[in-house]
Amino acid sequence: MERYRLFKNVKRLLVCVSGGKDSVAMLYALKPYAEKSNVELLGLTIDLGIGEYSKCSVEAAVEAFKNNDVEYMLVDLSAEYGFDLDTVAENVEKLRMPKGVCSYCGSVKRYIFNKVALDSECDAVATGHNLDDLLSFTLTSMASGQVDLLIKLQPKNRGVDRLVTRIRPLATLTNRETLLYVMSIGASYVDLECPYTPERSMQKTIVEKLSEIEHKYPGFKLALYKSLLRVLRKAEVKTGPLVHCEKCGMPSSTRICSFCRLKSLMTERIGEKTTETRVTARRV
């Protein structure tokens, strides 16, 4: 926290908790530090509408907020925006959508994090991405030629325009370390894998291989991370220009943001299914 000055210019922080071990660990670790630094915490969890998985995740997140006496907000994706991740999953293949469910889920969460932070007048958003997450994402981005995404490797991305500052307090901690922490404090978390997580992916493979190297050479992951940060600073990687989405006014790299495009597609699809059901009912 102090090394990367994560709390600099932060008086009100939105802490995003999914209910998994990493975000729960982050909340428990942030609470005493925030009190010491006079930073107000506001919690956020999202019901993504993924059946039992979402139900258990929300319950774990709410329990963590209550145990830490942190005021929180619950955003129900379906009630608030008219669609959920189950709907997205049903249509990814049917509509030949260009990305997988995980990619759309990430877009949804980032949009809601930023919108809630703006509406709640928070100075920054904290997410539970750990060292394994950041390394696997970075190496995958490099392999696919998406060099501009390397900016997300940093523990802190300063806000621009209506894009709120992002901090990643667990950036230097591995999966194993966050697991040991939540176990040591006896915190409850959801120990379920999202049903839409692919069995195999490049990011999963990278995490496995990096962990094998870490086992043989302790400290390898952190050393690699610090080296990549130095490369990033020298390379002066920057994000592309942002505009305001013509539908919602939120920051976007395109005329209509990815969230609004997804929302329009899903609500249109839901409307078509409703019409089909009504027609079938009349025929019966």
The answer to the question of residue 54 being in a domain is: yes
- Map tokens 């963590």 to a residue: 64
Helix, strand, coil % in the chain, rounded to nearest 5: 55, 10, 35
Give dist(CA 62, CA 45) in Å, integer: 8
Domain that holds residue 185: 12-240
List, in sequence order, every residue forming a beta bridge with 14; answer none if it has no partner.
42, 125
The answer to the question of residue 41 being in a domain is: yes
Displacement of CA 52 from its chain's centroid (Å): 20
What end-to-end distance do the CA atoms of the chain give, in Å? 64
Give dist(CA 49, CA 105) in Å, integer: 11
The answer to the question of residue 274 being in a domain is: no
The answer to the question of residue 110 being in a domain is: yes
pTM, rounded to two decimals: 0.89
The answer to the question of residue 266 being in a domain is: no
CA-based diameter of the chain, in Å? Answer: 68
- Map tokens 């920051």 to a residue: 251
Give dist(CA 8, CA 123) in Å, integer: 10
Query: CB count, 10 Å around CB of 113?
Result: 21
* CATH number of the domain within which 98 lies: 3.40.50.620
Query: How many domains does the chain divide into?
Result: 1
CA-closest candidate to residue 254, choices 145, 82, 107, 96: 107
CA-closest candidate to residue 129, choices 77, 171, 162, 166: 171
The answer to the question of residue 66 being in a domain is: yes
The answer to the question of residue 92 being in a domain is: yes
List, in sequence order, every residue forming a beta bridge with 72; answer none if it has no partner.
43
The answer to the question of residue 248 being in a domain is: no
Query: CB count, 10 Å around CB of 6?
Result: 22
Displacement of CA 120 from its chain's centroid (Å): 18
Render each residue's pLDDT in the chain as its tens digit; 284 residues: 778 889 998 999 999 999 999 999 999 999 999 999 999 999 999 999 999 999 999 999 999 999 999 999 999 999 999 999 999 999 988 878 878 899 999 999 999 999 999 999 999 999 999 999 999 988 888 887 777 777 778 899 888 888 999 999 999 999 999 999 999 999 999 999 999 988 888 888 999 999 999 999 999 999 999 998 888 877 766 666 789 999 999 999 899 999 999 999 998 887 655 444 333 333 43
